[in-house]
């Protein structure tokens, strides 16, 4: 078990971040082990055909036998939504002693695989060459396998953060972590992360807690090293909707009343979603969705609220009753 001890100031500094680099590195587990998550098999099948020319042996070698990953490849995001290039630049600045430490810690007690043996060579040169080679192949992999999907992934992650922020506002830290994952338990100012290979306790000491929702995390993923600041990548909600269109069951009466497009929209709005994400799930244009949402909003069937640069729509209590999705009031 890994535990994060959080004081009052640390809770006040708890924040969320989006990390394209986290997603890129965590996706390597799914790429190497297709049985890890059946939800991602459509993505994996689409990716396998675009990896020609990449040093996949080096790429796959960073995933240890026990599925741990070197901490230096997932640096703590300094801002809410850094670009992949900004995060990779931080990796390129990692000192050689930290590269060596993290590679050995991630693979322990097993020996380093052959592509990573440069970390054991004397002097800094071989370690720095290995670090730069990893950065180069990660950048190629990001461009081929993750970047084309990143816009829709980001929408999903932002929707998760909206939900989590609402949980925190309604019930504090206890409610925030209550349904994040069964391996998480909040008690007495300490966040306990179960089912971990490592066993250590990290005192935040004013560094706060950073939460990173992830498409590819199959369980909570804290840093391997106890020296790292409290950071937690956790499985995002709604991943099952990402790679395939979500089936929507329409009742004949509702379709007759609203028409099929509006009935499908109403069925999707169990949680706040932006226009672009709704268009993605339905396979239509954003402008078509906007027209239908305008009618649903004008008739009181959906509500809307601004979140940053996006407008999020959700089924209203009246819409719940009409669609049979809500409880009578």
The pLDDT of 140-152, averaged and rounded, is 92
Q: Are residues 59 and 38 part of one domain? A: yes
Residue 175 located in a structural domain: yes
What are the backbone angles phi and psi of residue 32, rounded to the nearest 5°? -80, -35
- Residue pLDDT, tens place only, 22-66: 999 999 999 999 888 888 999 998 898 888 889 999 999 999 999
Give the alpha-carbon dihedral of 234, 240, 241, 246, to 10 degrees: -160
What pLDDT is attached to residue 328? 36
Residue 119 located in a structural domain: yes
Percent of the chain residues topping a pLDDT of 90: 43
Strands (E), the chain: 2-5, 15-16, 184-187, 190-193, 200-203, 210-214, 231-235, 273-274, 302-307, 310-315
Last residue of a domain, one of 176, 200, 235: 235
Residue 268 located in a structural domain: yes
User: Using CA atoms, how far apart are residues 93 and 76, in angstroms rounded to an integer?
Assistant: 13
Last residue of a domain, one of 181, 205, 235: 235
Residue 240 located in a structural domain: no
Residue 328 located in a structural domain: no
What pLDDT is attached to residue 327? 41
Q: Give whole-number Cα distances, 309 to 158, 188, 215, 276, 312, in Å.
A: 11, 36, 22, 12, 10
Q: Are residues 52 and 21 part of one domain? A: yes
Among 304, 294, 299, 306, residue whose Cα is nearest residue 322: 299
What pLDDT is attached to residue 266? 86
User: Using CA atoms, how far apart are residues 123 and 126, in angstroms rounded to an integer?
Assistant: 7
The pLDDT of 180-190, averaged and rounded, is 89
Residue 60 located in a structural domain: yes
Q: Are residues 258 and 160 part of one domain? A: no
Q: Are residues 81 and 15 part of one domain? A: yes
Q: Are residues 192 and 304 part of one domain? A: no
Q: Are residues 148 and 35 part of one domain? A: yes
Where in the sequence is the domain holding 129, given as residue range(s)? 2-235
Q: Are residues 314 and 202 part of one domain? A: no
The pLDDT of 59-87, averaged and rounded, is 94
Last residue of a domain, one of 235, 258, 276: 235
- Residue pLDDT, tens place only, 197-247: 888 888 888 898 999 999 999 999 888 888 888 999 999 998 888 886 544
CATH of the domain at 256: 1.10.10.10
Assess whether the previous peptide bond of 109 is cis (omega < 30° from 0): yes
pLDDT at 163 over 50: yes
- Residue pLDDT, tens place only, 104-141: 999 999 999 999 988 888 889 999 999 999 999 999 99
Stronger pLDDT, 326 or 123, i.e. the higher one: 123
Q: Are residues 295 and 260 part of one domain? A: yes
**Cβ atoms < 10 Å from Cβ of 174:** 12
According to DSSP, the β-strands at 231-235 and 210-214 are: parallel
Residues 6 or more apart whose CB falls under 8 angstroms from that of 101 comprise 225
Q: How many helices (H) and strands (E) does the chain have?
A: 13, 10
- Residue pLDDT, tens place only, 273-300: 889 888 888 888 989 999 999 999 999 9
Q: Are residues 164 and 119 part of one domain? A: yes
Three-state secondary structure call for residue 4 = strand
8 Å CB contact between 201 and 222: no
Q: Are residues 115 and 36 part of one domain? A: yes
What pLDDT is attached to residue 93? 96
Residue 329 located in a structural domain: no
**Cβ atoms < 10 Å from Cβ of 326:** 15
Residue 162 located in a structural domain: yes
Mean pLDDT over all residues of the chain?
Answer: 88
What pLDDT is attached to residue 244? 67
Beta pairing partners, 60:
none
Q: Are residues 312 and 259 part of one domain? A: yes
What pLDDT is attached to residue 254? 77
Q: Are residues 218 and 303 part of one domain? A: no
Q: Give whole-number Cα distances, 207 to 77, 155, 222, 259, in Å.
A: 13, 28, 15, 52
How many domains in the chain?
A: 2
Distance in Å from the first CA to the final CA of the chain: 44
pLDDT at 329 over 50: no
């Amino acid at each position: 078990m890994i535990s994060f001890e959080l004081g009052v100031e640390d809770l006040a500094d708890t924040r969320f971040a989006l990390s394209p680099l986290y997603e890129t590195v965590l996706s390597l587990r799914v790429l190497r082990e297709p049985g890890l998550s059946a939800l991602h098999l459509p993505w994996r099948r689409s990716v396998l055909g675009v990896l020609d020319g990449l040093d996949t042996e080096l790429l796959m070698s960073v995933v240890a036998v026990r599925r741990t990953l070197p901490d230096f490849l997932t640096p703590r995001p300094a801002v809410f939504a850094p670009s992949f290039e900004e995060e990779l630049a931080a990796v390129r600045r990692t000192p050689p002693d930290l590269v060596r430490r993290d590679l050995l810690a991630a693979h322990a007690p097993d020996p380093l695989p052959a592509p990573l043996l440069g970390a054991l060579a004397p002097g800094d040169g071989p370690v720095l060459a290995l670090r730069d080679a990893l950065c180069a192949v990660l950048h190629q992999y990001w461009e081929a396998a993750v970047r084309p999907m990143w816009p829709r992934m980001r929408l999903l992650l932002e929707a998760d953060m909206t939900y989590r922020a609402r949980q925190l506002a309604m019930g504090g830290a206890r409610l925030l972590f209550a349904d994040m994952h069964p391996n998480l338990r909040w008690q007495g100012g300490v966040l306990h992360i179960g089912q971990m290979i490592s066993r250590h306790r990290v005192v935040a000491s004013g560094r706060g807690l950073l939460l990173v929702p992830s498409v590819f995390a199959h369980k909570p993923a804290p840093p391997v090293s106890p020296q790292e600041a409290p950071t937690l990548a956790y499985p995002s909600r709604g991943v099952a909707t990402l790679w395939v269109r979500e089936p929507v069951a329409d009742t004949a009466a509702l379709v007759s009343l609203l028409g099929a497009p509006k009935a499908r929209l109403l069925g999707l709005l169990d949680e706040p979603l932006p226009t672009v994400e709704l268009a993605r799930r339905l396979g239509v244009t954003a402008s078509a969705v906007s027209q239908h949402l305008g009618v649903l909003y004008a008739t009181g069937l959906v509500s809307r609220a601004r979140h940053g640069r996006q407008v999020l729509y959700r089924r209203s209590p009246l819409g719940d009753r009409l669609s049979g999705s809500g409880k009578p009031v």
